[in-house]
Structure 1
Amino acid sequence: MQRIAIVGSGIAGLGAAWLLDGVAEVTVFEAANRAGGHANTVMAGDQPVDTGFIVLNDRNYPNFEGLLAALDVPTRDSDMSFAVSIGQGAVEWAGDSWRTLFAQKSRAFDPRHWRMIADIVRFNRQARQLIATDALPSMSLGEFLDRNDYSDAFAARYLLPMAAAIWSTPTANMRDFPVGAFMHFFNNHGLLELSNRPQWKTIVGGSQRYVQAIARRLGAGLRLACPVARVRRDDTGAHITLRSGETETFDSVIFACHADQTRRILADASTRERALLSAFGFQPNRAILHSDVALMPRRRGVWASWNYLADRDAVDDQRVAVSYWMNRLQSIPGERQYIVSLNPLTEPDPQHVIREIEYDHPVFDGDAIAAQKRLDEIQGVNRAWFCGAWTAYGFHEDGLASGVRVARALGAPVPWSGGDG
Structure 2
Amino acid sequence: MKTLGIVGGGITGLTCAYKLQHEFNVTVFEQDNHWGGHAQTHRIGDAEVEAGVAVAGELTYKEFFKLMREINFDKFISYELSGFRVHAQGETLLYFDTNAKRLRQLMPKFLKESPASIFKTIKLVPFIYRLYRDYRKGLLDDVMVMDAYEMYPRYSEQVATVLTVLSLITAVSLKNVSIGHIFNFIFDTENNHGWTDPISELLKTFKYTKIPEGGVGAYINRLREKTTASFNIGSGITKVERNEDGTITVVNKDGKFFRFDHVIVATQPFQAASFLEYIDEEEREIFTKLANFVTHSIVTNHTDSGVLDHIDPAYGLVDYRIDSHDDVSQVTIVKADHYYTSQLLPDSVDPKKIKKGGFSNAQFTPDNYSINPEKILTQHIHGTQQMMPETRQLFDKLIERSGEGNLYFACAALSNYPTSQEGGVRSALRVVKELKNNN
Name the TM tier (shorter chain). Answer: 0.7 to 0.9
Within the alignment, does 1:287 sit opposite 2:310 as a pair? no
- The one-character-per-residue Cα deviations of 1:316-336 (angstroms, maximum 9, x if unpaired) are 3x1232212222xxxxxxxxx
- The one-character-per-residue Cα deviations of 1:358-396 (angstroms, maximum 9, x if unpaired) are 322232111122233333311101121111111131111
Query: Structure 2 CA distance, aligned partners of 1:351 and 1:126?
Result: 46
CA contact (8 A) 2:7 2:13 kept: yes
CA contact (8 A) 1:155 1:315 kept: no
Secondary structure of 1:197's aligned partner = helix
Name the aligned partner's letter for residue 385 of structure 1.
Y
The counterpart of 1:233, out of the listed 231, 242, 245, is 242
Query: Structure 2 CA distance, aligned partners of 1:109 and 1:362?
Result: 40
- Residue in structure 2 matched with residue 415 of structure 1 by the alignment: none
- The one-character-per-residue Cα deviations of 1:265-308 (angstroms, maximum 9, x if unpaired) are 11224333333334542222222222111133632379844321
Query: Structure 1 CA distance, aligned partners of 2:263 and 2:178?
Result: 31
- Residue in structure 2 matched with residue 151 of structure 1 by the alignment: 155
- Residue in structure 2 matched with residue 315 of structure 1 by the alignment: 325
- Residue in structure 2 matched with residue 215 of structure 1 by the alignment: 224
Within the alignment, does 1:22 sit opposite 2:32 as a pair? no
Secondary structure of 1:54's aligned partner = coil
1:152/1:374 CA distance change after superposition, 3 Å = same
TM, length-normalised to structure 2: 0.79
- Residue in structure 1 matched with residue 119 of structure 2 by the alignment: 114
CA contact (8 A) 2:17 2:28 kept: yes
Query: Structure 1 CA distance, aligned partners of 2:426 and 2:110?
Result: 43
- Residue in structure 2 matched with residue 339 of structure 1 by the alignment: 339
Query: Structure 2 CA distance, aligned partners of 1:224 and 1:399?
Result: 20
- Between 198-207 and 177-186, report the one with greater CA deviation: 177-186
* Offset at residue 94 of structure 1 (A): 3.5
- Residue in structure 1 matched with residue 355 of structure 2 by the alignment: none
- The one-character-per-residue Cα deviations of 1:235-267 (angstroms, maximum 9, x if unpaired) are 231110111111111111101111011122112
1:184/1:257 CA distance change after superposition, 3 Å = closer
CA contact (8 A) 2:170 2:185 kept: no
Query: Structure 2 CA distance, aligned partners of 1:384 and 1:284?
Result: 28
Aligned-residue CA RMSD (Å):
3.1
- Between 7-16 and 55-64, report the one with greater CA deviation: 55-64
Query: Structure 2 CA distance, aligned partners of 1:142 and 1:289?
Result: 27
Secondary structure of 1:151's aligned partner = helix
- The one-character-per-residue Cα deviations of 1:43-87 (angstroms, maximum 9, x if unpaired) are 122443333141222212222112211222122222245522537
Query: Structure 2 CA distance, aligned partners of 1:153 and 1:204?
Result: 35
For structure 1, list consecutive stretches of 5 or more residues without a partner in the other structure.
328-336, 413-421
The counterpart of 1:127, out of the listed 126, 131, 145, is 131
1:309/1:323 CA distance change after superposition, 3 Å = same
The counterpart of 2:426, out of the listed 396, 401, 404, is 401
- Residue in structure 1 matched with residue 364 of structure 2 by the alignment: none
Within the alignment, does 1:44 sit opposite 2:49 as a pair? no
Name the aligned partner's letter for residue 73 of structure 2.
V
* Offset at residue 402 of structure 1 (A): 0.6
Query: Structure 1 CA distance, aligned partners of 2:18 and 2:108?
Result: 48
Query: Structure 1 CA distance, aligned partners of 2:374 and 2:148?
Result: 45
Name the aligned partner's letter for residue 147 of structure 1.
M
* Offset at residue 155 of structure 1 (A): 3.2
CA contact (8 A) 2:9 2:29 kept: yes
Secondary structure of 1:253's aligned partner = strand
TM, length-normalised to structure 1: 0.83
Secondary structure of 1:360's aligned partner = strand
1:84/1:191 CA distance change after superposition, 3 Å = farther
For structure 2, list consecutive stretches of 5 or more residues without a partner in the other structure.
190-195, 344-358, 361-368
- Residue in structure 2 matched with residue 333 of structure 1 by the alignment: none
1:361/1:324 CA distance change after superposition, 3 Å = farther
- Residue in structure 1 matched with residue 353 of structure 2 by the alignment: none
Query: Structure 2 CA distance, aligned partners of 1:278 and 1:364?
Result: 16
1:351/1:201 CA distance change after superposition, 3 Å = same
CA contact (8 A) 1:238 1:383 kept: yes
Query: Structure 2 CA distance, aligned partners of 1:18 and 1:271?
Result: 34
Query: Structure 2 CA distance, aligned partners of 1:147 and 1:19?
Result: 44
